[in-house]
Structure 1
Amino acid sequence: MRVPGYIVIGLAVFIPSVTALLVADPGYRGLHFLAKAATLLSVVGVVGTWVLLKSAGREKTRQVFATLLLLTVSLGISLVVAEYAVRFAFSDITTTVDNSSYFARTWNRLHPPVINRYGFREREFSREKPEGIYRIAVIGDSLTYGQGIKAADRLTNILENSLNESGARYEVLNFGHPGAETIDEVEILKKYVIDISPDFVLLQWFVNDVEGHDKAAEQKPYSLLPSNFLTRYLKRHSALYYLANAKWKSLQGSLGLVKSHNDYIIQRFSDPDSQASRAGSAALEDFFKLAKAQSIPVGVVMFPRLLEVNGSVDNYPFGFLIKHATSTCKRNNVPCLDLRSVLAKVQPAQKLWANRLDPHPGRLANELAGKAVLDKFGDTWENPAVRD
């Protein structure tokens, strides 16, 4: 008995695919995804071909498969053309909010950051503070790090250049780490900053710093594709998919299919006496106490989310978080600077962004922040070596 060719082909795909699923290490997620896809396609292909042959005959089956092949090739060509069209249209993009996106990976590959021996995006510097130098350490997250912008456009670089214009001798060192929250910044202060004897520590605060590492209550939007592996792969390698998936996630929030990040923050932290709010305040107090125990003066600069800066401080949805943090500063006699009124003057707010897909602070936002920081802390930072 002669076995039909489509069954032979189906078995040639099915058997090794199932074998791979059974024996391959689960850690090889890419291999498992391909094996699952090949197994499914082989079964669907064999069953579909058999049904078509029985119901429509050999000639009609050939026509169906020829049509399917033509559609597949046309779709593939269309997607490739669309991918390169999107890359060209968004060639000005540096990074996105998601550092694993195609855009962010491409930017970081073409513009690799200079990382010092401590693991921060900063030049190398001596542990011992040089004589006559006033050393300022700025600790923060991706806003301090300078996501999506050149090092020269960051707050720390702008501050150092401004302070040294008059011939003074200042070091403004960047200890920004993307994704860092207050509890992480306490560890940065403890592990790296205290050891270099700064004259002043400036903490850059952002609204999500209160979250901590427990984000189990946040509802994650659904991805465009059901496969986690395929989603991660395409997000990292396709500009088209990243934009489509981002739009799909935004649509889910707009339609109420999932709770938005703003709603999650408001629900979890609007009550200053909630467990989550108290934990956020406690982490900030730990930072202040650690600095004061080493007799290091400390200050705070508070950045608003630039997505919500719309010309009015009163309409800012996370004002309660800034109020909570400001209260913690006052209790500890720590000066803090709220940048909302400074940045809200710029309209549209996109002018402040790193780029049109990334609302991290760009050059303009950091210049405005730098001026406000100097107005607030400049007298405190007067270098005795220059004054004398």
Structure 2
Amino acid sequence: MLKKLLLIPTALFVVFLACEVGIRLYGWAPLPPTYAGKSYSSLPNGRLECMNPEVSRPYFSGAGNNNPGCVFYSINNLGFRNNYSIGPKAPGLKRVVVVGDSFTYGFGVLEEDTFESKLEEMWKLEGHKVEVINAAEPAAALPEYKRILNEKVKGLSPDILIIGINLNDIMTFNSSLIIEKISRKYEWGIRKVSKLVDFFCYTMERRQSSEENIKTIQDSLTPERVAAFESFVKELKAFSVAEKSDLYVIVHPIFFNLEKYNFTSVHEKVDSILRNEGIFFHDFLEDFKGKNSEDYWITLNDQHPNEKAHQVYFDVLYKKLKTKL
């Protein structure tokens, strides 16, 4: 009987040891930051941002990228992500201006793969004389949108004005907060020597932290934030009328847990405000909900929408806006 009892812990130890060896051979380690060291380089007409190879994807070193492993961001005379200067509007020119944050800007996406570039290229192939101006800014929110509109877009006479809304325009969180902010909770001594235990602890910490982060984000949807968004929408509508522009709003989902999405009610609130003001809009949650979130991340640990997501944006917007030119 004693021998049989001793077999149980022995078998468990052997299984543990086998798993330990396996995970060491696999080379598991917590994912490092998306960008390592000095990632920005100033260039005459833009900046270069290079990905950490440990979390990167083959996309960044593909044949179409002149700067393998990196993303080049054009910066034109107005500070926009366009590889040409913006001047007075020429006769017969159709001008589309896009304002938003990093999701709209195409952060982590090669310029030719952003939906703005794709729209301009397609419309030009169809014979339209058109400019699609990417006036979005990383980390922008409602105050920055107003500044961009009043200081840079005003006077450009856009025929179509596209505004990209992220949920952090109505709630409080960083774009990649859910997956980047991981709290270390288990300080077990064995964790320092066992890769298997470290992997188990990290997995638990990531799950618990994401739940805590989601709750914090949901709790930030206050009446004051909703009222600020409603006020912004009214100002946006008035701006488009003054500029004689067709206004179109796009709403981005958070690219996390799209299979069992946590923020549907927030989309419903945003959509309701836009609908009540009679604003033409498209909520991209309907295009991504139920999909695998990680398929649309720019890197293994950054949930900004990648080139696949921008292709979806393009497909929808091309159909929605083709009659506006």
TM range (shorter): 0.5 to 0.7
| 1:140–1:176 CA contact under 8 A, matched in 2 | yes
Point out where structure 1 has 5 or more consecutive residues left out of the alignment: 1-81, 225-243, 383-388
Per the alignment, do residues 121 and 317 of structure 1 end up closer, same or farther by CA in structure 2, a change over 3 Å counting?
same
Cα distance, 1:297 vs structure 2: 1.9
C-alpha distance in structure 2 between counterparts of 1:213 and 1:291, whole Å: 28
Q: Rg larger in 1 or in 2? A: 1
Per the alignment, do residues 139 and 261 of structure 1 end up closer, same or farther by CA in structure 2, a change over 3 Å counting?
same
| 2:102–2:138 CA contact under 8 A, matched in 1 | yes
In structure 1, the partner of 2:95 is 135
Superposition TM-score, scaled by structure 2 size = 0.68
Q: Give the structure with the larger helix fraction.
A: 1
| 2:157–2:244 CA contact under 8 A, matched in 1 | no
Structure 1 residue 264 and structure 2 residue 224: aligned?
no
In structure 2, the partner of 1:287 is 236
Cα distance, 1:199 vs structure 2: 0.7
C-alpha distance in structure 2 between counterparts of 1:86 and 1:112, whole Å: 30
C-alpha distance in structure 2 between counterparts of 1:192 and 1:262, whole Å: 35
| 1:212–1:280 CA contact under 8 A, matched in 2 | no
Q: Partner amino acid for 1:151?
A: E
**Equivalent residue of 1:304, what SS?**
coil
Q: 1:277 aligns with which of 209, 226, 230?
A: 226
Cα distance, 1:275 vs structure 2: 2.0
Cα distance, 1:126 vs structure 2: 3.0
C-alpha distance in structure 2 between counterparts of 1:320 and 1:204, whole Å: 19
Alignment of 1:86-105 (within 5 A): 96=34, 101-102=35-36, 105=39
In structure 2, the partner of 1:319 is 264
Per the alignment, do residues 210 and 135 of structure 1 end up closer, same or farther by CA in structure 2, a change over 3 Å counting?
same
Point out where structure 2 has 5 or more consecutive residues left out of the alignment: 1-23, 41-47, 51-69, 185-197
Per the alignment, do residues 136 and 265 of structure 1 end up closer, same or farther by CA in structure 2, a change over 3 Å counting?
same
In structure 2, the partner of 1:359 is 303
Per the alignment, do residues 375 and 164 of structure 1 end up closer, same or farther by CA in structure 2, a change over 3 Å counting?
same
Per the alignment, do residues 213 and 186 of structure 1 end up closer, same or farther by CA in structure 2, a change over 3 Å counting?
farther
Cα distance, 1:103 vs structure 2: 7.2
Cα distance, 1:367 vs structure 2: 1.0
| 1:144–1:175 CA contact under 8 A, matched in 2 | no
C-alpha distance in structure 2 between counterparts of 1:368 and 1:194, whole Å: 29
Alignment of 1:1-388 (within 5 A): 96=34, 101-102=35-36, 105=39, 108=49, 110-211=70-171, 252=205, 254-255=207-208, 260-269=212-221, 274-310=223-259, 315-344=260-289, 347-379=291-323, 381-382=324-325
Q: Partner amino acid for 1:360?
A: H
Aligned residues: 255
| 2:171–2:218 CA contact under 8 A, matched in 1 | no
Per the alignment, do residues 259 and 308 of structure 1 end up closer, same or farther by CA in structure 2, a change over 3 Å counting?
closer
**Equivalent residue of 1:156, what SS?**
helix
Cα distance, 1:316 vs structure 2: 2.3
Among the aligned pairs, what percent are the same residue? Answer: 20
Per-residue displacement from partner, 1:190-247 (whole Å, max 9, x unpaired)? 1111221111100011111124799xxx9x96877xxxxxxxxxxxxxxxxxxx9xx9
Per-residue displacement from partner, 1:168-187 (whole Å, max 9, x unpaired)? 12211101101111221121
Q: Give the structure with the larger strand fraction.
A: 2
| 1:181–1:212 CA contact under 8 A, matched in 2 | no
| 1:210–1:277 CA contact under 8 A, matched in 2 | yes
Per-residue displacement from partner, 1:340-361 (whole Å, max 9, x unpaired)? 222236x433222222222211
